Amino acid sequence: MTKVLTEPRSIRIKGRSFLAVVLTPDLPFDDWLARLDDLAARSAGFVLGRPVVLDVSDLEIDRPQLKALIAELGNRRVSIMGIEGGRPSLVEPGMPPQLKGGKPAADYEVPKAEAPVADTGAPATSGMQTAEASQQVSPEVVIPQHLATAPSLVVRETVRSGQSVIYTQGDVTVIGSVQSGAEVIAGGSVHIYGALRGRALAGCVGNADARIFCRKFESELVAIDGVYAMTDDMDPELRGHPVQLWLEGDAIMAEKMT
- In this prediction, residues 241-255 reach a mean pLDDT of 90
d(CA 120, CA 151): 10
pLDDT value at 140 more than 50: no
pLDDT band at residue 56 using 50, 70 and 90 as cut-offs: confident
pLDDT band at residue 125 using 50, 70 and 90 as cut-offs: very low
5: Cβ contacts below 8 Å, ≥ 6 apart: none
Please tell me the predicted confidence (pLDDT) of residue 134.
Answer: 34
Please tell me the predicted confidence (pLDDT) of residue 98.
Answer: 83
pLDDT value at 4 more than 90: no
Please tell me the predicted confidence (pLDDT) of residue 118.
Answer: 44
Residues comprising the chain, all counted: 258
Q: Which of 12-16, 38-42, 69-73, 118-122 has the lowest mean pLDDT?
A: 118-122
- Domains with residue ranges and CATH for the chain: 21-99 (3.30.70.260), 152-256 (2.160.20.70)
> Of the segments 46-50, 168-172, 193-197, which one has the largest average pLDDT value?
193-197
- In this prediction, residues 110-121 reach a mean pLDDT of 40
pLDDT value at 63 more than 50: yes
Q: Which has the higher per-residue pLDDT, 208 or 234?
A: 208
Please tell me the predicted confidence (pLDDT) of residue 188.
Answer: 92
> Of the segments 57-66, 84-93, 110-119, 187-196, which one has the largest average pLDDT value?
187-196
Q: Which of 2-6, 116-120, 187-191, 199-203 has the lowest mean pLDDT?
A: 116-120
- Which residue type, as a one-letter code, is found at position 225? D
Looking from the CA of 107 toward its CB, the CA atoms found within 13 Å total 12
Dihedrals phi, psi of 182, to nearest 5 degrees: -105, 170
The DSSP string of the chain is: -PPPP----PPP--------EEE---SSHHHHHHHHHHHHHHSTTSSTTS-EEEE-TT----HHHHHHHHHHHHHTT--EEEEESS-GGG--TTSPPEE-S----------TTS----B----TTSPPB---TT----TT-----B-TT-SEEEE-S-B-TT-EEEETTSEEEESS-B-TT-EEEESS-EEEEEEE-SEEEESTTT-TT--EEEEEE--SEEEETTEEEEGGGS-GGGTTS-EEEEEETTEEEEEE--
User: In a 10 Å sphere around its CB, with 0-12 CB exposed, 13-18 middle and 19+ buried, how is residue 141 labelled?
Assistant: middle
Please tell me the predicted confidence (pLDDT) of residue 107.
Answer: 34
- pLDDT one-digit tens code per residue, 142-192: 444 444 445 789 999 999 988 888 888 889 999 999 999 899 999 899 999
- pLDDT one-digit tens code per residue, 222-245: 999 888 888 777 888 889 999 999
Query: What are the Cα distances from residue 149, in Å, to 122, 165, 170, 173?
Result: 10, 18, 10, 16
Please tell me the predicted confidence (pLDDT) of residue 58.
Answer: 79
pLDDT value at 216 more than 90: yes
